[in-house]
Homo-oligomer: A and B are copies of this chain.
Amino acid sequence: MTQTHQTTTENEADCFRDECGVFGIYGKPDAAAVVTLGLHALQHRGQEAAGIVSFDGKQFSVERHVGLIGDTFTKQSVMDRLPGSRAIGHTRYSTTGGEGLRNVQPLFAEFAGGGFAIAHNGNLTNALTKQRELQKRGAIFSSTSDTETVLHLIAVSERDRLVEKFIDAVTQLEGAFSFVGLSGKKMIGARDPLGIRPLVLGDLDGAYILASETCALDIIGARIVRDIQPGEVIVITEEGPRSYFPFEKTNPRFCIFEYVYFARPDSTIEGRNVYEVRKKIGQELAREAPVNADMVVPVPDSGTPAAIGFSQEAGIPFDLGIIRNHYVGRTFIQPQSAIRHMGVRLKHNANRWAIRDKRIVLVDDSIVRGTTSQKIVQMVRDAGAAEVHMRIASPPTSASCFYGVDTPEKSKLLASRMSIEEMRDFIRVDSLAFLSINGLYRAVNEPQRNDQCPQFCDACFTSDYPTALTDQEHTESTRVLSLLANNG
């Protein structure tokens, strides 16, 4: 008998759903307003719910809302309830049901020594195992978020001071995590020893900022200080930042898919501008899989930078052969059943006057289940294209991510069950090519993948997971597991 008081909906979307975005600022009046802007800039990392916790020197205030930042955290009444010059926030992909707000972060706990709020981007691969241990000794969980496990590990730590307890907790974790925490005196950031998810340090007129991406610093005109290092715990107080490195030293393995799809093109991570990487991906792709064609057409918007790169390298004109309707988010929420079958046209329309009788190179970032590609290709063919050549700006995605990306089960990934020729047939294109894994590494300025000691986490392409997957190995019930795995 499984006892759960909340259900999760299966990931039915044919895309990689984003993970989460985190943002914190320490020492700026109306800190929550700044966090609102930061989260707005990170909305591509999670668009369905958000939360902010502020501290005004005496007490913590918490607001959590379902909906876009621009709809929920821009009301004066909401902002008035978040006073103080220190605040952290979180934006996440999805919540469901009336109880859903329980899982919206930051989570907050009143410890014996005072309050503590925490926001998390990533996913812990031993959270369920830890949760069971904690429950056995009497812990009560009030959310289904793996982040709550961290709160409990801090609460039961026998160390004396908060920073020590925090380090005690995070050193017990496996998986990917970029945390931002807020206590009555400190803002704390932490990145897992492999640095799988991004986290940067910024500065706005002397106030320190922690954010998932640099674009969240740009929106408020903040200065980019540096990336938080893999394995670094940074503690910001009124005296400024101080860093700890409690993890055993290891080679970092940043998520290469952040460059392919997740991060915003105007962000720079670990010294590489995302837009530049994507253009280089397009160039590599044009070199690896050239084609005779009249027009390079991106699947907007995620395929656009690679398509520009492809066009420039191949000397084939770049054109907007597909127009995107931006009045939905990344998918149409709750489509009415009568129109569900019309699917993809809610978001994209082929510009038939541009496409007709042309040989088209269609550039997209990746193929997940393949159904979206199938529909887009059909739409382009219906619009009169003479030939359709698909070029994918990444290697075939054949494995699930356990580090904070909401991927379908492996068995539903097209590349896990078909050869490239079978896929070409399935999506009905004249030719299909993916970027090679080494092409991808070249696009991020590595000579090639170092198979002995890979420079990035590329498990979704290679099944080479850089951490233990404890929960996976010890659990039969994937149903229960998914409760935790869906957390951003």
Residues on the B chain within 8 Å of A43, using CB: 325, 327
Residues on the B chain within 8 Å of A79, using CB: 336, 338
- With A114-B1, A317-B312, A349-B219 given, is the CB distance from A339 to B276 under 8 Å? no
A266 touches B139 (CB 8 A): no
B346 touches A59 (CB 8 A): no
Question: Among B111, B136, B219, B346, which residue has its beta carbon within 8 angstroms of that of A342?
Answer: B219
Question: Among B59, B73, B332, B352, which residue has its beta carbon within 8 angstroms of that of A74?
Answer: B332
Q: Chain copies in the assembly?
A: 4
Least CB separation from A304: chain B residue: B320
Stretch at the interface among A60-68, A396-404, A435-443: A60-68
Interface size class of A (residues with CB under 8 A): 35 or more
Report A44 CB to chain B, min CB distance, Å: 7
Interface residues of A in 332-351 (CB under 8 A from B): 332-339, 342, 345-346, 349-351
A108 touches B219 (CB 8 A): no
Q: Is A275 among interface residues, defined by CB-CB distance under 8 A?
A: yes
Question: Among B68, B273, B325, B382, which residue has its beta carbon within 8 angstroms of that of A327?
Answer: B68
A47, A58, A139 pick with most chain B CB within 10 angstroms: A139
Interface residues of A in 192-221 (CB under 8 A from B): 215, 218-221
Residues on the B chain within 8 Å of A409, using CB: none
Q: Is A14 among interface residues, defined by CB-CB distance under 8 A?
A: no
Main secondary structure of the interface of A (DSSP, over half): mixed
Write out, one digit per residue, whether chain A residues 136-147 have a CB within 8 A of any chain B CB (1) or not (0). 111111100000
A215 touches B2 (CB 8 A): no
Report A36 CB to chain B, min CB distance, Å: 7
Q: Is A226 among interface residues, defined by CB-CB distance under 8 A?
A: no
B333 touches A70 (CB 8 A): yes
Report A316 CB to chain B, min CB distance, Å: 11
Stretch at the interface among A151-159, A253-261, A411-419, A455-463: A151-159
Question: Among B47, B59, B326, B354, which residue has its beta carbon within 8 angstroms of that of A276?
Answer: B354
- With A81-B98, A323-B265 given, is the CB distance from A308 to B304 under 8 Å? no
Q: Is A37 among interface residues, defined by CB-CB distance under 8 A?
A: yes
A81 vs B7: C-alpha distance when bound (angstroms) = 11
Interface residues of A in 42-62 (CB under 8 A from B): 43-44, 47, 53, 57-62
Residues on the B chain within 8 Å of A357, using CB: none
Residues on the B chain within 8 Å of A325, using CB: 40-41, 43
Pairs A–B under 8 Å by Cβ, sample size 25: A3-B58, A4-B110, A5-B59, A5-B110, A33-B338, A33-B339, A34-B339, A43-B325, A68-B327, A70-B333, A74-B332, A109-B142, A111-B140, A135-B155, A138-B152, A138-B155, A140-B148, A264-B323, A266-B351, A275-B323, A276-B354, A301-B326, A308-B318, A308-B319, A318-B318
- Interchain residue pairs A-B with the least CB separation, the first 6: A138-B156, A273-B353, A142-B142, A3-B115, A112-B135, A43-B327
